[in-house]
Chain A
Amino acid sequence: GEDVEQSLFLSVREGDSSVINCTYTDSSSTYLYWYKQEPGAGLQLLTYIFSNMDMKQDQRLTVLLNKKDKHLSLRIADTQTGDSAIYFCAEISNQAGTALIFGKGTTLSVSS
């Protein structure tokens, strides 16, 4: 079945880089996404990567995709306290339309 796994917590100091990791199971996933959720809020789309790419950079964000290992990572450079949030990795389901299958989320805590 489809499943997305993420580590639950990450703690970093302000100014450091953060790396959030994710593994997925559906090798036919065409798009993989990163969303951010702040307390009490909905989900904010951060970035996404097409499966024929292995890297995508967008300002402070870098996404790396290892299709062979079904591993996705999100690197946040120069992490700020405002980056503290829950980060969700998601893949497109092939079994239910174009539904997103989410991981449980990684809570990023940034200390000053």
Chain B
Amino acid sequence: DAGVTQSPTHLIKTRGQQVTLRCSPISGHKSVSWYQQVLGQGPQFIFQYYEKEERGRGNFPDRFSARQFPNYSSELNVNALLLGDSALYLCASSLEGGGGDEQYFGPGTRLTVT
């Protein structure tokens, strides 16, 4: 079975631009979460979606938004990019996003903002 897939693998953008990152969960998983991992730090929670509804939001500015589609795939959008947005963006999927659900991570999208 395919794991969590993310695209693109790498991305270079300029300050002020907008970016869209994509994630496909494991087949049968209905919940997707997004995390930002800055170099040398642990991942930080951005959003969680379940059945196309936002279930949780981390402490990130409104420049960050996301959505989940009927096929449970998800997109993360970041507007007005800042240098500090450079990071590895990780997507995780789980069956229903409940507390006991195991979250499986994709390989991530490496975003560099210049």
Contacts and interface: CB of A to CB of B under 8 A. Distances in A.
B is bound to A: yes
A96 to B, nearest CB: 4
Contacts of A99: 33, 45, 48, 56, 58
Contacts of A27: none
A98 B41 contact: no
A92 to B, nearest CB: 5
A42 interface: yes
B90 A43 contact: yes
Interface stretch (B11-19, B63-71, B76-84, B104-112): B104-112
A107 B52 CA distance: 36
Nearest to A47: B102
Interface in A12-56: 30-31, 35, 41-45, 48, 50
Interface residues of A, number: 25
B108 A98 contact: no
A82 interface: no
A41 B4 CA distance: 12
Contacts of A103: 42
25 contacts: A30-B99, A41-B107, A41-B108, A42-B106, A42-B108, A43-B43, A44-B105, A45-B104, A45-B105, A88-B42, A90-B42, A93-B45, A96-B45, A97-B97, A98-B56, A98-B101, A99-B33, A99-B48, A99-B56, A100-B35, A100-B43, A100-B92, A102-B44, A103-B42, A104-B41
Interface of A: 4, 30-31, 35, 41-45, 48, 50, 88, 90, 92-93, 96-105
Q: Closest 10 interchain pairs by CB? A: A97-B56, A102-B42, A99-B45, A43-B105, A96-B56, A42-B105, A97-B55, A42-B107, A97-B48, A42-B108
Interface of B: 4, 33, 35, 40-45, 48, 55-58, 90, 92, 97-108
